Structure formats: C-alpha cells, structure tokens
Amino acid sequence: MKDLKPIIKSLIREKTGPLLLLLQIAVTYTVLVNAVFMLLQKHEEIHVSSGLAESELFWFQMSLHGEPEEMKASLFRDLEAIKSLDTVKNAVTLNSIPFSEWGVGHEIRLDRNAEGFITKAAFYTGSHDAAETLGLKLIAGQGFELSDERRLFDFGLDTPSGIVISKALAEQLYPLDWQQVLGKTVYLNEDAQVVKGVVEHLIGPWSYWENSNYNVLFSTATVSSEVFLMIRIQGESAKQSMQDVMRIVMQEPNRTVDHLEMLTESRASAYRSQVAAYSTLKAVVIGLALITMLGVFGQARFAILKRRKQIGTRRALGASRIAIVRYYLLENAVINLIGIALGMVLAIVANNLLISHFNLLPVPSIYLFYGSVIIFGAGTLAVVQPAIRAASISPSEATRSV
C-alpha cells in the first residue's frame, strides 16, 4: 500500500480527468443498480410458475348451436369422443383460459358484511377433473369428484358448491397460516363458498394483473353458445392431437372454431411486451458496463501516455513490471471505489424518487452490492491492458526529452 499516498496526490493534482471518470462511474452505477433490479423483476414476471402442464396443453373456442339442452348434449358428446382419442390424455371445458385475457374476477371477503374486501381474484369454472387436466398440484385439502360437478347454462355464485384456490390466495387470506383456509367460508362478492382444497400454483387469465396468482376453481361446466375447451395431449405430437380433435369437433354442421393454439404460445404472446422490456433493460445494463469500461480504458491510456517518462524513471530505479501494473490497478481501484460510494448515494436518492412517482418497489440493499461488483469488475478489466502496456515501457524512456 506504499503506492496509495502518491496515487491520491497524483489524482488531486490532475483533478479534471479523474473527476470526470469518477462522475461517470457514479452516474453509471446509479442507473445500473435500478436497471438491474427492474431487469430481475421482469425476469421473475416472465418466468413465473403457472402451475400448469403448459407444454402438454392446447385450447380453442368453439360454437354450439340449437336449444340449450341440444348445446349441452353436443358439448359433452364431443368431450367424450375427444377423451377417447389415443392422442388425448384428457379434455375439459373452461370459462377462462390462462394467459388469454379471457376471464372474470371477483372481490374476496372473509366477512360478508365487511365494507371493503381483502383482495380480488379471477375464477375458473370447468369440469370436475379440470385441476388434473391442467396439471395442477393439490397440496392441501381435496379436489373435486364427479358428484361435485354442475352443468349450468348461467353460472351463479349463489349456490355453495365448494372451491379450490391457489396457495397465493390462501396466503393472502390467512398470512400467518395459509392452511387455516381449508373448510373456511369465503365470500366471492357477497356469495358464500367453502374452500375444499389448495393448489400450489395457478396463474390467471391476465399476465399483467398484479393479482394474477390469486385464483379460484369451481367444478362447474358452463354451457353457452361459445365455449372454451382445454385439451391435454397424450404422446409427443401436439400437432397430431390437434388434428384428431379438430376432426371430431368439425363434424358438427355450422360449427366455428377460433384461437386454436398451444398454451405455451398463449404464454409467449401474453408476455411479449415484458420480454421486450426485459431485452431493452438487458441491453442497457450491458451498454452501461461497456461505457464504464471504455471510460476507464481511455483514462488509463491517457494517463500512461502522459507519464511515459515517469514510468521509465521508475523502471530505471528498479521498479518491476508487476509493481507498475499494481500501481495502475490500485489507482483505478481508488477511482472506482470513490465513484461507487458516490453512486450508492445517488442510487438511493433515485430509487426513492421512482418509488414516490411510479409506485415501484424499493431496491433491496443486496442490489447495491451487485452493482458495485459489476462496476468494479468492469473497471478493473478495462485497466488491465493499459497497465500491462505501462509495465512494458523501457527504462530508456527516462533519458528521452519530453
């Protein structure tokens, strides 16, 4: 550390170059920390667990015609025919489709007479085996049996039928012990329903909704002129399964089919804007790191060109190549650390402004550490080549005129 004192004196004497680099590092650090935090938030949003067997599921919307009883008979006749296919593991009708923006939500209360509500949740109505077909994992309580299934033309909440909810919703209702929700009566709007079971994950129809993990499942098959079917494939060929299902469905005269797609495609479409934002933020982070490296590289190279005679003198007096490299690495470390310290202050101030104006989450302190590592690592890597070049300066430089 004997080089530390002359390094500090040198930086104070030169002022302008080191000061500009220090400010660049501080500003870069400020933007980088907040960008990295938002980047990881976007990553979590995009890769959130849905609880569904996405790669095995496809869905479509189809029309039903005739009187209500004719529509019901047509729907369940087709479902049985589809289930009998070798390329289909199971098939159910649903009122809502994950990632599709097709769905309905309700206010959730534990007290019917409460003025407000605890949260809002989306709900799925479908055949009794919908949870199994979707690939949901039951972690508490029990699921639905065939005897629980209702087949209605107009869905209503007024008749208690029992519900299965997502763990995230259970935790919201009973934060201290989510399993207390089992057997409890909850109120969807003002209609009572008893919680029969809890599934580990269940994503909602709207990917952009803040309550997308709060969901309710009913064992109710709703029949109308337009219905959604969710198919779980058997085997490796989704394309073959789709063809087999369409062959059955299109046997009905005047039937129309829409939105035939794999659930993985629905997810990709739902998160397209988040993926774009994620890619942009990733480019910002990489760009900031490169700019910092270029700034450090330019400053170090400029300093070496100015000090060639000084470096040659040190080499003539016996300074080793390693000592020269160490000197410039230490000088760069001092500038980086001061810039990072200033950047921490600016990052905290900037984050407080983002919280107050855009209702964002506060940046955890660990991200200040992550930003420090990135900036310090980029700066150190950038100075290695100029430092090695400085170490290669010959002692004869000391005898040359400036």
pLDDT in tens, 197-247: 999 999 999 888 888 999 999 888 888 899 999 999 998 889 999 999 999
User: What whole-number distance in Å separates Cα of residue 121 and Cα of residue 98?
Assistant: 13
**Token pair belonging to 94:** 């649903």
pLDDT band at 397 (very low <50, low <70, confident <90, very high): low
Enumerate the β-bridge partners of residue 352: none
Please return the burial class of 377, using the count of CB atoms within 10 Å of its CB with bins 0-12, 13-18 and 19+. middle
293-350 pLDDT tens trace: 787 788 777 777 777 777 777 777 777 888 888 888 888 888 889 888 988 888 888 8
- Alpha helical stretches, state H, 250-391: 263-270, 272-306, 308-316, 321-358, 365-391
- The whole-chain average pLDDT of the chain stands at 86
Predicted model pTM: 0.75
**Token pair belonging to 358:** 């855009």
Residues 351, 34 contacting (CB under 8 angstroms) = yes
Please return the burial class of 70, using the count of CB atoms within 10 Å of its CB with bins 0-12, 13-18 and 19+. exposed
Residue 161 scores a pLDDT above 80:
no
Of 113-127, 140-154, 250-264, 290-304, the one with minimum mean pLDDT is: 290-304
User: What whole-number distance in Å separates Cα of residue 9 and Cα of residue 18?
Assistant: 12
pLDDT band at 2 (very low <50, low <70, confident <90, very high): low
CB contact set of 43 (below 8 Å; sequence gap of 6+): 278
Count Cα atoms within 13 angstroms, Cβ side, for 350: 19
Domain boundaries, the chain: 4-47+273-399, 65-254
In the prediction, which pLDDT does 155 show? Answer: 66
**Token pair belonging to 153:** 């033309």
Enumerate the β-bridge partners of residue 151: 221
**Token pair belonging to 191:** 């209609």
